[in-house]
Amino acid sequence: MKLVRYDKNPVLAPTTNWWENKAVFNCAAVRSNGNVHILYRAQGDDYVSRFGHATTQNGFDISCREPDPNYESVGDEMERLGVEDPRITKIEDRYYITYTGVSMYPCSEARPSPFKSVPWRCRVGLLSTKDFQTYEKHGCILPDMDNKDVVLFPERIKGKYVMMHRTFPNIWLAYSDDLMTWHDHKLLMRVQPSSWDCDRIGAGAPPIKTEHGWLEFYHGVDHQRNYRLGVMLLDLEDPSKVIGRSANPILGPETDYEKNGLVPNVVFTCGVVDLHDQYFVYYGGADKVIGVATMSHDDLKKVKLEKPV
């Protein structure tokens, strides 16, 4: 079983606004007060990433889109190249947003990168909001490591907050008492040799609680740098136990807007909402536009899962 693309994709694309005229992609999504809020990464003439904001009522058609950036980093050296790839988790009465703050190490501190020779510095930041208009900045939550793909579980488990993050190339778990200091890091899931996710994997949207376990939509990359989406199930009481993972991807780059853009052959999700007995998966296509694809609850049960190696 695979996700079904919306036939009017992309739902969000670059505009003539200078701050989002190059690319809009990799968006968080969450339901609130009858709307789906979409917080997306945008790049414009300066190629600095900012967050734009749009809403939809039916999950497909954009009903409102703000003309100015909804959030941008100001005066933070760790984020001087922008803020990227937000994920939204509602915990109690607030919406918490994890994101990647991007800068570069000084030449005197340059260190090898798994991606290229440029010494990128990627730090995980945390915001919170109640209305998607004003934000409280909590700061860097993994200050001692370059990290990406951080998602928070929507409730405490055995009294602890839980996150997924990526220490390249695998997905890890960590725990916290206060959302700021994280400890007990442990490996959750490895890349699969000779498979569709053999090069790197990362959490996509925040986990969704179901009767079968914590449902996580994640991305996997092969050695040809094709980004695809899959799912995994984690134990409700102990999310460090993987019940199963996708034997095959549920979405891969096939259309023109997924194959051609700033980075070719990419589908990448940061946000999934449960709406009308369907999962609405919002994803970046080729780091240029945003599409949405859906799968019913019943069809998701037909996805072939395999035990992790």
The pLDDT score that the predictor gives to residue 66 is: 98
Q: What is the pLDDT of residues 78-87, one digit of tens each?
A: 999 999 999 9
> Structural domain tally of the chain?
1
Domain that holds residue 208: 4-306
Nearest Cα neighbor of 175 from 161, 165, 189, 187 is: 161
The pLDDT score that the predictor gives to residue 111 is: 64
The pLDDT score that the predictor gives to residue 123 is: 97
207 contact partners, CB below 8 Å, separation of at least 6 = 151, 153, 154, 164, 214, 215, 216, 234, 239
Average pLDDT rounded to a whole number, residues 35-53: 97
CATH number of the domain enclosing 84:
2.115.10.20
Q: Work out the mean pLDDT of the chain and round it to a whole number.
A: 95
Nearest Cα neighbor of 53 from 293, 64, 274 is: 64
What is the model's pTM? 0.96
Cross-strand bridge partners of residue 39 = 28, 53
Do 210 and 234 meet the contact criterion of CB atoms below 8 Å apart?
Answer: no
Q: What gap in Å lies between CA 285 and CA 20, rounded to an integer?
A: 15
Nearest Cα neighbor of 146 from 98, 105, 188 is: 105
Say whether pLDDT at 117 is over 80: no
Q: What is the pLDDT of residues 231-286, one digit of tens each?
A: 999 999 999 999 999 999 999 999 999 999 999 999 999 999 999 999 999 999 99
Tokens found for residue 240: 């460090």
Q: Would you call 256 exposed, middle or buried from its count of C-beta atoms within 10 A (0-12, 13-18, 19+)?
A: exposed
